[in-house]
Structure 1
């Protein structure tokens, strides 16, 4: 009897490709205080559309592990466990849940852009919660100050990233399906 949970070489390759894309784009950031603006969440949304919930989430976790072991793939070309334990570590962990929640909606409602938008928004809110809580704890600042520094400046950009993903993602998924690369 064959194990149906086993990933194919093609699936592993697609995960590796999206992990590599995240590693290339993740370091580019715009420092605006304690928390920089990065493209990481945009790449995660695209990975979910491209790979689906499970493989897209795995792709991000592999990226996170690559950064934790010290390769400079996090914002500002940084890496290492200290980054995870630092002020932005909660966002890095929160992205796992963002990928999972976004993927749940994208996989279930792939033909309904508004539902995918809602899923990505909910996932982003969970990331904000993890990130803000950790930022307040590590920086020893009140939650409302962490919220002002770690959420408010990012809302417009994150909405744009979600909208962009909602437009590009379905097209990427459709092309992967047509090419026989989406399972």
Structure 2
């Protein structure tokens, strides 16, 4: 009888986790298309990285990375979940495709750091910073290749204008992320 109860508990836990993965994937898909184009860059301002920061807090490295991969699959399949309500393989292969692919690395890196130092209040901050740096490096390299610009020129239009906003997103995520994680965990344990 005890094994049956444990099996049911494990199934319930997996079901709840899958539901939260689906919910966070939906949040990414809903928030990401709302973007602000800026005249000097093909890269728009969006909340996608902020939602990924929060997803990592709530779900951890593995499940948040699954969310990001699902988001990319849905967008590549043609759903209008990428910036400016676009989708399709052309968007992933276009100038901003490297940043989109870099979101997976962002989730993995932030999640790894967060899980490696679970008791530290702001442990995810270095993970978010390093994850964004890796995302930016991949995105800038791809942008340079797609536009025929030098890496420095692509960095100037694809990264530098976004640093202040991303710093604010990291600060807000570092403050709200642990609270959201605790709230979600409490609700899942009911």
TM range (shorter): over 0.9
**Shift of residue 181, structure 1, vs aligned partner:** 5.0
Is 1:17 the counterpart of 2:44? The answer is: no
The question of whether the paired residues in 2 share the 8 Å contact of 1:110 and 1:170 is answered with no
1:177 to 180, 185, 189: 185
Q: Whole-Å Cα distance in 1 between the matches of residues 33 and 121 of structure 2? A: 29
1:117 to 117, 121, 125: 125
Q: Report the number of matched residues.
A: 181
Q: Which position in structure 1 is the counterpart of 2:47?
A: 39
Matches within 5 A, 1:66-145: 66-145=74-153
Structure 1 unmatched runs, 5+: none
1:33-86 deviation digits (Å, cap 9, x = unpaired): 211010000000110011111001101110110000000000000000000000
2:35 to 17, 29, 32: 29
**Shift of residue 9, structure 1, vs aligned partner:** 1.5
1:50 to 46, 58, 61: 58
Q: Whole-Å Cα distance in 2 between the matches of residues 65 and 181 of structure 1? A: 30
Q: Whole-Å Cα distance in 1 between the matches of residues 99 and 132 of structure 2? A: 10
Which protein shows a greater Rg? 2
Secondary structure (helix, strand or coil) at the match of 1:179 reads helix
The question of whether the paired residues in 1 share the 8 Å contact of 2:32 and 2:83 is answered with yes
Shift in alpha-carbon separation, 1:20–1:181, aligned structure 2, 3 A:
farther
RMSD: 2.0
Structure 2 unmatched runs, 5+: none
The question of whether the paired residues in 2 share the 8 Å contact of 1:86 and 1:138 is answered with yes
